[in-house]
Structure 1
Amino acid sequence: MSEDKRDATLWERVVMEKWTDSSTEADMSFGSHIYDRIDELHVGLPKHVLYDGPPFATGSMHYGHACVGIYKDIDTRFHSMNSFDVSRKIGWDTHGIPVENIANHELGITSKSDVYEMGIGKYNNKCEEIIKTCESDWSKKTERLARWVNSRGAYHTCDPEYMESVWWTFAELYKKDLVYHGMKICPYSTGLGTPLSNSEAKDGYRLTLDTSICVGVQIQKHELKPESAFILDVPEVYLVVWTTTIWTLPSNMSVCVNPDINYILIRDKKTELFLIIGENGIKTIYTKKELKKNPYEIITKFSGECLVGLRYTPLFGDPDRTLFVCGDSYVTDKSGTGVVHMAPAHGIDDYRVCVTNGVIERDGSDMLCFVNDGGCFREDITDMDNKLSIIIGRYFKDTENEIVSLIKEMGRGEIIRLSQCEHDYPFCPRTKTPLIYKPVNGWFVNIQKIKTRMIELNDAVRWHPEHIGSGRFLNWLKNAEDWCISRDRFWGTPIPIWTDGDEHFECIGSIEELCSRMCIKSDTTDLVKILQEKLINDLHRESIDEITILSKDGTKKLHRIPYVLDCWFESGSMPWAQHHYPFENVKKFECEFPADFVCEGLDQTRGWFYSLMALSTAIFNKAPYRNVMVSGIIVGKDGKKLSKSDKNYTDLSDILERYGAEPLRFRAVNSGLSKAQSVTISESSLQDATRDVILQLANSLNFMTEHGLAFKSVNGVGITEKKIEMRSMTSGLPITDQMDIWILCETKRWHACMQHALRTYEYSTLGKHILEFIKTLNTQYIRLNYQRLKGRSSDPKSWHSSLLTLCYVLHDLAITIAPVLPFMAEHIFQRLKEHFMPDLEVSVHCCLYEMLFCKNQNKKSPVTIERFISMDELGKKTRGTILSGSEDTTYSLGIMDCGRLSPKYIDQLAEDLQLLELRIIPLHKYKNIVCEPNLSVIGKHMKKDTKDAIKIISKLSQKDLLDFRERGYFAGFMGDRLITIMSSYVRFSIELNIDLIISDELFGDVAGDDLIWKTCPTTGRTFIMDVRQNDKTKRSMIERELVQIIQRTRQKAGIRIMDPIWIFYEFSADLMPFVDSCKLAERTRVSFYNGVAPDGCHIITEKCGVVERPWIVDGSYNIRICNDVTDEMLKKYSEYIYE
C-alpha cells in the first residue's frame, strides 16, 4: 500500500476499517474477531474493573470528554495486555435537567404548567428521543478516538432495570434511617424551578458585579447590658450592616456580629451620625480618597460580645417591632463591616445562626420567605409591609432600586454607602440564571451519619494526583452537608415514596413490591396484569404517578409524592444498578465491586466521585474505587475555559478529521492534564505530535520495510525466515553485534519505564518516555547503523543482524505503545506481520507483554556502545555551537578523550560527525577543574562558616578539586576548626587550556579561533574540533550533497532500494574535480555513468540544478535515473558500474 506521509490520518482510517469491518472473507481473521481472540486469551485471568462514569447523553463530545475517554482506554488496553480480563462496559446518564433543557427548547416549554398541559408522557417521550440522537454522535467519536468499549452491553439510567436498582438503593437508605423528609435551606434554580445539590451550586460560582449596600439599623437603648452602657453616652446609634443581596432585606430577622473581634463606635464628621462597625471595616464605608481627609472620629473600641443581645429596629414591618443581635464566629471584618444581615430563609449560615440563637424554630415554620419558585416576590410580602407591594411579581434581581428607595423613604435606617462590588455568586449551570437559597421541603440523605466513615474509606483510595484526595476531595467530605436528592421535575427516576399527605410515608423497593400493593378500583380481572406489564417496561412518572397503594396496616390509601431523584443519585448507584443488582447478576456485581480504576474531570470531585463514595459507604460500607485519576481542565489558547462564543478552540470533529486521533491521544499523555492541571490543546501542539511522533515512527517503519524487502530481493530469503519461535525463546535472541545488543537493552529498559508509568497511573510521563525512545531508535540506532541497515557493510551477516534487530525492536515498540497510540501500534504490527512475521497475533491488541522479544535479551548493555553514544551526542552538541548554516559542513580533525574505543567505532563517529579524521587522545593535562561556591545554597547550610568555606574552596589544588568532585564532599581546616563542604554547595565546571593544546601542536599549526570544544558536565569528557577548511573537506561536502540530491530524487520518484536502476550524470566543469564516480556509486548503491542517457532506455525521472556552495563552487548538474538499460547500451561508457 502506498502511503502519503503528509496524511497522518491515512493509517488511522485503514486500521479503523479493519477493526470495524469483517464482512469479507479476506478480513475474517481481523475485524470483530479481534474481540473474540482477546476473550479467548483472557479466559480465567484475574479481573480488572473500570467504572465508566456515565456522561450526560446531551450535546456533543468536547476535548475534556475525549481526553478522559483516552485515559480510560489506556487503562483497559494496558491491563488487557498485562494479562487481566478487562471490563469495557460503558453507560449513559440519560435523566435530568440537561435533557429537559433541550426538550424545553425544542418544544417551546417555558414553565412546569406547560409540561402538565402537554402531558408528562409526551414530554418524557421527547426526552428519550433526544438521548438517542446524542448517543449516536458520542458513539461515533468514541470509535474515532480508538476507544474500545462494549457498546452493546451499555447501561442507560432510564432503563427500567437500572431504575429498579435505584429504587432498591433508596429503599436501603430508608431502612437504615439514612434518608429523611424535612426542610433545609438549599440552592435553588429559579430557571428550573427545582433545588440543586450543593456540588452543582459550588460549580456554578463565578465573579459578578453587584450593588452592595451599607445600611445602619438603629440600636434600641432600653434593656442594655452593663458592658454596652457606652451607647447611652451618645445620641442615636446605628449598627452598620453590609450585604450584596439587597433583595433579601425584607426577609431580615436578625443581624450577626463576631463576639471575638474588635468593633468601634465612630462619629461621622460629615453627617454627625454615630456608627458601630468592625475595626477593620472602615474601608468598606469610606473610599481611599475619603480616608485621606480623616472623615471620622473614634469614640470607643470594644469586643463584639458587647453587641450580642442588643435590640434594633428592623428596616421593614411594624415600627414598634424589634429584633436582636446574634453572635457567631463565622462573621469576619476582612470584607464588609463585620456586621452581617441575617435572612435565614436565604442563607445556610443565616439559618444555622438563627436556629442556634433562638431567632427561629428549627423547622423553619416562622421564617420569612416571600419569593416563589420562579424567583418572583409573592403577594404575601405586603404582610410584612404594605409599601413593599411595588415589588410584587417582580424578579428578585430586578427589585434592588425599589428596595433602596423604600429604605430612604421609610427612614427606619440610614444608608451609609451604595457601591458596586465584584464577588463570587452562584449561577445555575444549566440555565445560567442566578441561584437563590430558599427553604425546600424535600428528601435528604443524612450525610452526617456516614461522614466519618467516608473520610476513613477515602484514606485507602489511591488518588492520582495524590493532593486531590488529601486536599480538595477530603475537604469536601469534611464539610459535606446533607444531600437534597429530590427534584421537582419530570424526566428522572421517581422517588419510590407513597404518602397519605399527612406525614405518613412508606417506601417501595421493587417493581414486584409495588405490583403486590396496588389498589385496584375496577372489576376487570386483567387490570393487574396490564399494570404489571406496563410497570415492568417503564418506571417513569407517567406510568406510576396515578398508582395508589394501601398502607401496610391496610387503613390508608397512599399516593406517590411528585418528586424524581437527583440524577447524581442515579449515577452514584451505577456500580450495582448497571447489573440490575440485587435482582440478578449478584455474583457478577460482587466480582466487580469495588472498581480498580475510575477517571473523570476535576469537577467530579464534588459530583460523581462524591455520589459514588456516599452511596457505596451508606449501602455497603466500602469505598467504591481503588484508584482515581483526576483529569484537569482544558482551556483555550487565551487561557480561558473553552467557549463557543469566545471561539477560543477548534471543534473536536474538525481536529479528528484534520489530524486524526493519535496526536490528541499523545497530547493527553504529554502534558499535566492527567495530574489535574489546566492544559491548552492547541493545533500547534497537535502538529508537533504529528511531526515528532507519528511521522517519526512511520519513517522508522518505512525504512525497515524498504531495506527488509531489499534484503530478501538480494538474498532470496527474508530476514525472519529462519524458523524462529515468535512466542517464547528460551535460548535468547540470535543477536551478537554490540550495537544490536545495546538497542535491545534500551528497548527493554524503555519498556520497563512505560510499564511503571502505566501501572502507577503516571500518564503525564508517557509522552516523554515515547519521545526519548524515538530519539534513541531514530537518531541513535538507525542513524548510527545507517550503512549496516542499508547493506553497505563488508559483512553480509551484519546486514541481516541489524535488520532483524530493528524488526524485533519495532515489534516490541508496537506492543509497548499500543495502549497509548493504538492506531500507530496496529499499523506497525500489521506491516511487520505482512512482510516479515506472518505468525504474529491477529492484532497487536491481542498480544500480551510476555510476547516481547526484548524480554529474552539477558545481556548487559555494552559499555562501549554507551560510551560511543555519549561521545556522539557530545560531538553533535559541539557542532551545534557553530553558527547556523554549517550543519552540513565537513571538518578535517576532531579529538576526544573518551577512553577505549575500537577503530570500528572511531571511524563510525568520524563519519557521523562529518570529520575526515577523529583521534582519541587523553586530555587530562589540558583541563582545569573550576569550582565556584553556590552562594544561595552554601550560605543557607553553612551559615557562620560560609566565609571560611569560600576561602578554603579558593585555595584548593586541581588534585583536591578532583577528589572533591568524585567524593561529593571536602573536609579542610580553617585554623583548628574542621569544616566540611558538600559538593551540592558548589558548581563544578571544566576549563580547557587552549594555549597548551596549541603549543603541543595537537592540531598542527592552528590558532585558538580555529578550535571549538565542549565538555560533558556529567562525564567530564571533552571534544575539540578544528573548523578550518581544506581541499579534502570541500570535496567531502560536495560529494555528500550530490548523494543527498540523488537519494531525494529517487525517493520522490517512488523508486525502491531494490529496484534496478542506472544513473547518468552530467556535471559542469567546475564541479567535476569534486566528483568521484566510484564513491558516489558505492554510497548510492546504483550503477553510475558520466554522460547522457543512451537512446532506447526509459528515463524515470530527471533532476537539474545547481550546487550552491559559493565559498567552494557553484556547479550545475543534470541527473537522469533510468531503467530498461541493456548491456549493449552501456558499451560506450567507461565509468564505474556498481555491482
Structure 2
Amino acid sequence: VSASGKPMKRESDLIDVWFDSGAMPYAQLHYPFENKELVDSRSYYPADFIAEGVDQTRGWFFTLHAIATMVFDSVAYKNVISNGLVLDKNGNKMSKRLGNAVDPFGAIEKFGSDPLRWYMITNSSPWDNLKFDTDGVDEVRRKFFGTLYNTYSFFALYANVDGFTYAEEDVPMNERPEIDRWILSLLNSLIKNVDACFADYEPTKAGRLITDFVNDNLSNWYVRLNRKRFWGSAMSTDKLSAYQTLYTCLETVAKLMAPIAPFYADRLYMDLIAVTGRDQVVSVHLAKFPVADENLINAELEARMQMAQDVTSMVLALRRKVNIKVRQPLQCIMIPVVDEAQKQHIEAVKDLIMNEVNVKEIKFVDGAAGVLVKKVKCDFKKLGPKFGKQMKAVAAAVAGMSQEAIAELEKNGSYTFQLDGADAVVEAADVEIFSEDIPGWLVANEGKLTVALEVTVTDELKREGIARELVNRIQNIRKSSGFEITDKIAIVLSKNSNTDDAINEYNTYICNQVLANSLTLADEVVDGTELNFDDFSLYVNVTKL
C-alpha cells in the first residue's frame, strides 16, 4: 500500500535496468512524443563517439546497440573508447585500505590540472590501464610545460626589447634561412599528423608528437641554435624571420595542445595575440584549428636535419663518455659514409653540426676503407629461431664478415651468405654492428650511422676552451647580478699562468660575447668573485657601466 493508501503491486515483467541507460539517446529527447525528426532524420543519432570504462562492455555499450538494432536497425554510436583503469605506480588497484590511493584534487593543487591531464593522456593509451605515478606528473610539468614556458619566455624577452608585434609582412619563404624552413616544415608535418591522430581517436599519439616537437626540435634544437639571431641590435630580415618563425610555432602549438591542456594553451595563446592582434577571438578554443600547408613540408630537408641531430647526439654522448665539455673545442669528427645520399645529407648540414658540437672539421671516409674497423655480433634471440641447428655456422660466418660485407649489410639492410649450398639471409636488425676505438679517438654506432670523435686536446684548442668557459662564467655573473641583456660591462680578471695566454689571445672574442667594453688582467682583484676550475682558481670583478 502506498503512502496515500492505494494498493501497489510488483511488476513481474522486468529487464536489466541498463536498458534504461541504453534508451538514453531518444529518452532524453522524449522521443517519439517530441523531437521525432531529430532521431528519424539521423541528424542527431547515431552518436559519433562514446567513452566509458571497460566494465560497460556488457552494460551501457551493449544496451545502446541492442535497442538501436531492435528499433532502428542501426548502430547507436560510430566510435568507442573503452577506458582502462587507473592503478597505483606498482600496478595495484588503488584502495583506501591499502593506502595507495592518490587524491586527484591534491594532485591538481600540487601540479596543476593540465600537467595531470597531459600525463594521463600521453603516458598510455586510454584503453590501457594506467600505472599512476606522481613523479611522472612532475616530470611532465618540468620537461614539457617548463620547456614550453622557457621557450615562450625567451621569445617574449627579446620581442619586448625589439618591439616585435608581427606588424611587418611575412618574410618570403625563399628568403628565410634553411633552419627556419626546416622548423616550419616540421611544424606543418606536426599539424598534419596531430590532426590525423585526433580524427582517429588517438590522443596519446597526438600528445606525444607535440611533446617531441616542443622538447626535441623547437627548444633543444631550433631555439638553441638560433639564440644569436635575436641578439642583434637592428631588425634585419634575418632577425625578423627568426621572430616570425618562432611566433608561428608557439601560436600553432597552443592551438594543437588545447584539446588536452585547455588552460595552459589558452593562456599561452592569449598572451601571444594580445600583443600582435593576429586573431580577434577571446579564447584559443574559439580559434580555428590549424590546417597543414603542404607546400611548406619538405621531407628531404627534414631528413637532412634529422641526420644533423643524430650526429650531434652521438658526438655529445662521446664527449660525456670522457668528460670533455662542449665548450672545449675538439679538432675532428670522422664519418664512414654508407652511400652517397648519406654523405650529401651530412655535407649539407656539416657547418651546423660543427658549430653545435664544437669541432673544427668533419672528414668523410669510405665505409669499407678500414680506417675504422667494424665488427658484427649476432643477436641469438632473433637469429636462433630463424636458423635453428645452423645457428653455430651462421654465427661463425657473421663474425668473419669482411669490412666490405659489413658495409653492404649497413647499406642494404641485409646480407646473404652461402650456407650448405643454400642462401642464408641475415638482416641488419638481427645483429649488432660496432666499431673498435682507435688511439686518440672514440667511436659510436647507431643504425647505418658511425661517427668517430678525435678527443686529443692540443694547447691551441685548450686556450680556446678556456676562453669559452670564461664567457659562460661571466654570463652567469651577469644573470645573477640582475643586469639587463643590453647592459655594457667592464671586466677585471686576476692573472694566472693557466689562463693568461688564452685571455690575451681571445680578449676581443670574450668582450664581444659578454658585452664588455674592456677586459684587463690584474695582480689583485678587489671585491672579486671566485671562479673555480679543475686545478686552479681565478677572481673576477664585473662592473656595469
- TM more than 0.5: yes
CA distance in 2, matches of 1:861, 1:740: 14
The letter for the 2-side match of 1:626 is: K
Pairing 1:229-628 to 2, within 5 Å after superposition: 561=10, 568-589=18-39, 590-628=42-80
Match of 1:220 in 2: none
Match of 1:634 in 2: 86
Q: 2:232 aligns with which of 787, 791, 794?
A: 791
The letter for the 1-side match of 2:25 is: P
Output one character per residue of 1:672-730: Cα deviation in whole Å (capped at 9) or x when no partner.
Answer: 251232x2322211110111110100111111112223333xxxxx3622245xxxxxx
Q: 1:680 to 1:1103 in 2, by over 3 A?
A: farther
Unaligned runs of 5+ in 2: 338-342, 521-525
Match of 1:689 in 2: 140
The letter for the 2-side match of 1:934 is: D
Q: Does 1:931 align with 2:376?
A: yes
Q: Does 1:857 align with 2:280?
A: no
CA distance in 2, matches of 1:1116, 1:985: 54
CA distance in 1, matches of 2:394, 2:134: 53
The letter for the 2-side match of 1:1011 is: W
2:490–2:517 contact (8 Å) kept in structure 1 = yes
SS class of match (2:156): helix
Match of 1:1064 in 2: 490
2:266–2:283 contact (8 Å) kept in structure 1 = yes
Match of 2:340 in 1: none
Q: 2:447 aligns with which of 1010, 1018, 1021?
A: 1018
Match of 1:828 in 2: 268
Q: 1:987 aligns with which of 408, 426, 431?
A: 431
Q: 1:654 to 1:850 in 2, by over 3 A?
A: closer
SS class of match (1:591): coil
1:878–1:1012 contact (8 Å) kept in structure 2 = yes
Output one character per residue of 1:101-149: Cα deviation in whole Å (capped at 9) or x when no partner.
Answer: xxxxxxxxxxxxxxx9xxxxxxxxxxxxxxxxxxxxxxxxxxxxxxxxx
Q: 1:670 to 1:865 in 2, by over 3 A?
A: closer
Output one character per residue of 1:520-574: Cα deviation in whole Å (capped at 9) or x when no partner.
Answer: xxxxxxxxxxxxxxxxxxxxx97xx8678xxxxxxxxxx5647999763432222
Match of 1:921 in 2: 364
The Cα of 1:954 is off from its aligned counterpart by 4.9
The letter for the 1-side match of 2:260 is: V
The Cα of 1:992 is off from its aligned counterpart by 4.2
Output one character per residue of 1:405-458: Cα deviation in whole Å (capped at 9) or x when no partner.
Answer: xxxxxxxxxxxxxxxxxxxxxxxxxxxxxxxxxxxxxxxxxxxxxxxxxxxxxx
CA distance in 2, matches of 1:650, 1:903: 53
1:929–1:958 contact (8 Å) kept in structure 2 = yes
SS class of match (1:927): coil
1:705–1:835 contact (8 Å) kept in structure 2 = no
SS class of match (2:31): coil
CA distance in 1, matches of 2:123, 2:112: 18
Q: 1:652 to 1:735 in 2, by over 3 A?
A: farther
The Cα of 1:579 is off from its aligned counterpart by 1.9
CA distance in 1, matches of 2:334, 2:447: 15
The structure with more radius of gyration: 1
The Cα of 1:663 is off from its aligned counterpart by 1.1
Question: TM-score, normalised to structure 2's length?
Answer: 0.84
CA distance in 2, matches of 1:901, 1:1049: 40
Match of 1:1028 in 2: 457
The letter for the 2-side match of 1:958 is: Q
Match of 1:814 in 2: 254
CA distance in 2, matches of 1:719, 1:906: 34
SS class of match (1:580): coil
Pairing 1:839-854 to 2, within 5 Å after superposition: 839=279, 841-851=281-291, 854=293
SS class of match (1:675): coil
The Cα of 1:642 is off from its aligned counterpart by 2.1
SS class of match (1:826): helix
CA distance in 1, matches of 2:223, 2:475: 17
CA distance in 2, matches of 1:861, 1:841: 36
The letter for the 1-side match of 2:471 is: V
Q: What percent of counterpart residues are identical?
A: 21
1:929–1:988 contact (8 Å) kept in structure 2 = no
CA distance in 1, matches of 2:142, 2:429: 41
SS class of match (2:246): helix
The letter for the 1-side match of 2:321 is: T
Q: Does 1:741 align with 2:191?
A: no
Output one character per residue of 1:1113-1137: Cα deviation in whole Å (capped at 9) or x when no partner.
Answer: 3112232446xxxxxxxxxxxxxxx
Match of 1:315 in 2: none
The letter for the 2-side match of 1:720 is: Y
SS class of match (2:376): strand
Question: TM-score, normalised to structure 1's length?
Answer: 0.42
2:304–2:349 contact (8 Å) kept in structure 1 = no
CA distance in 2, matches of 1:844, 1:985: 45
SS class of match (1:674): coil
Pairing 1:963-1112 to 2, within 5 Å after superposition: 963-974=408-419, 977-983=421-427, 986-992=430-436, 994=438, 1008=439, 1010-1015=440-445, 1017-1028=446-457, 1030=459, 1032-1033=461-462, 1035-1051=463-479, 1057=485, 1060-1070=486-496, 1074-1075=502-503, 1076-1084=506-514, 1086-1089=515-518, 1105-1111=529-535
Q: 1:1063 to 1:1108 in 2, by over 3 A?
A: same
Match of 1:701 in 2: 152
SS class of match (2:239): helix
The Cα of 1:790 is off from its aligned counterpart by 3.2
Aligned length, in residue pairs: 524
CA distance in 2, matches of 1:671, 1:577: 37
CA distance in 2, matches of 1:676, 1:906: 43
SS class of match (1:982): strand
The structure with the largest helix share of the pair is 2
Q: 1:780 aligns with which of 199, 214, 221?
A: 221
Q: 1:984 to 1:867 in 2, by over 3 A?
A: closer
Match of 2:523 in 1: none
Match of 2:354 in 1: 910
2:435–2:443 contact (8 Å) kept in structure 1 = no
Tell me which of the two structures has the higher relative contact order, counting C-alpha pairs closer than 8 angstroms and 6 or more residues apart. Answer: 1
